[in-house]
Amino acid sequence: MSYTGPDFEPPQPRRSPLRRPLTVAIAALVPGALLGWGVYAAVGGPDDDGGADRAGGARTPAASSPGVSASAGADAKAPTGTSPSATPRDPTASASASKPAPAAPAKGPLKGKVVVIDPGHNPGNFQHPSDINRKVNVGTHWKECDTTGTATEAGWPEAKFTLDVAHRLRTLLEAQGATVKLTQDGDRPFGPCVDERARIGNEAKADAAVSIHADGSGAGNRGFHVILPGSVHDGEADTRAIVAPSAELGERIAGNFVRATGSAPSNYVGGGTGLVTRTDLGGLNLSTVPKVFIECGNMRDDKDASLLTSNDWRQKAAQGMSEGIVSFLRG
């Protein structure tokens, strides 16, 4: 199988359809993707399709509206209650022990471009249940401010994974000349809430925004998927202007993520395309700038967890995201 997208073919003029799913075709396979897929298959490829699970293996109901995945991702995750203090080992300890030095004046192909990186959840969320459980308006409905996210079976929390990858991604993008802003940098006790996460990107007038997550589905569900905003025009939510550019951003990130990491698209959502459209996530519904979520893998599956806890793999994940963002911003 292969994964095709904008960065596996000659550049095409931007098209206006609301969603252009990626295709899977052996004939379009490129050497880099073939090697990555071979490595992935060797350690255990896709199994049977199935609905996404919450952390701990509890099955979630299927989405009731068309185009909305049942994925247990992003700002829809239920808290796991896992305390970082119970974690036997922190895979990011050596990579994230010190804060990065201030960035040099911007120069490079992305000079003048603004990217907002949204590391999902917050390591301190579990200590503030009343704060993160309060409801906020996400345009179409009210939902919890935030959640604790999921964790590996060994207890390593998603919030530490997302912050580590965000730091790596920031370094790569700043090296290209981009101005990079994080929605949180381990510098606040909890949150921010999902509506504030969207507002940070909007107020920064970001040219692209990416929310980083890892899923909490059932064991055997493997692979990554990129969540795109569906068309929403209800209450304070109006995504109509960002649907098309967000789809392009998501496609480019997905294609480069395959190439950089060797990981396959999700075997449980997205129909093998690695792309899922949702209309229930406040972080997307309230965005006025091109934005996507990426679920980098499933923390509750042992094979995916072994990747997510690898320093080398996380660097490749950041590289794939960076290349996709650069491709999108340069056109």
Would you say residue 184 lies in a domain? Answer: yes
Q: Is residue 323 part of a domain?
A: yes
Maximum average pLDDT range among 34-38, 102-106, 193-197: 193-197
142-144 and 208-215 strand pairing: unpaired
In a domain, 1, yes or no: no
**Cα–Cα dist 197/307, whole Å:** 27
Range of the domain at 13: 6-330
Are the C-beta atoms of 245 and 290 separated by less than 8 Å? yes
Question: Mean pLDDT of all residues in the chain?
Answer: 80
Q: What is the pLDDT of residue 247?
A: 98
* Residue 159: inside a domain: yes
Which stretches of the chain are DSSP H helices? 31-44, 129-133, 158-175, 194-203, 243-261, 282-285, 302-308, 311-330
CATH number at residue 12: 3.40.630.40
For residue 180, tell me if it sits in a domain. yes
pLDDT digits (tens, 9 = 90+) for 284-296: 999 999 999 999 9
Which residues are catalytically annotated? 295
Q: Rg of the chain over CA atoms, in angstroms?
A: 18
Residue 206: its pLDDT value, please?
A: 98
Residue among 39, 62, 235 nearest 137 (CA): 235
Number of domains into which the chain is organized: 1
pLDDT bin (cut points 50, 70, 90) of residue 94 is low
pLDDT at 237: 96
Who contacts 99 (Cβ-Cβ below 8 Å, separation ≥6)? none
- Say whether pLDDT at 3 is over 80: no
Rounded Cα gap, residues 136 and 159, in angstroms? 20
**Model pTM score:** 0.74
- What torsion do the CA atoms of 308, 310, 186, 84 make, to the nearest 10 degrees? 80
Residue 222 covered by a domain: yes
pLDDT band at 107 (very low <50, low <70, confident <90, very high): confident
Average pLDDT over residues 171-178: 98
Please tell me the predicted confidence (pLDDT) of residue 312. Answer: 98
Measured between alpha carbons, how far apart are the two ends of the chain, in Å? Answer: 27
Distance CA 149, CA 54 (A): 10
| Residue 99 domain-assigned (yes or no) | yes
Taking 60 as the threshold, does the pLDDT of residue 323 lie above it?
Answer: yes
Buried b (16+ CB within 10 A) or exposed e, 111-127: eebbbbbbbbbbbbbbe
Which among 279, 134, 308 has a CA at the least distance from the CA of 215?
Answer: 308
Predicted pLDDT of residue 31 = 43
Integer CA distances (angstroms), 12 to 6, 8, 293, 323, in order? 7, 11, 24, 17
- Is a pLDDT exceeding 60 seen at residue 297? yes
pLDDT grade for 194, boundaries at 50, 70 and 90: very high
CA–CA gap between residue 157 and residue 272 (Å, rounded)? 27
Q: DSSP of 113-146, one letter per residue?
A: -EEEEEE-S-TTGGG-HHHHHSEEE-SSSEEES-
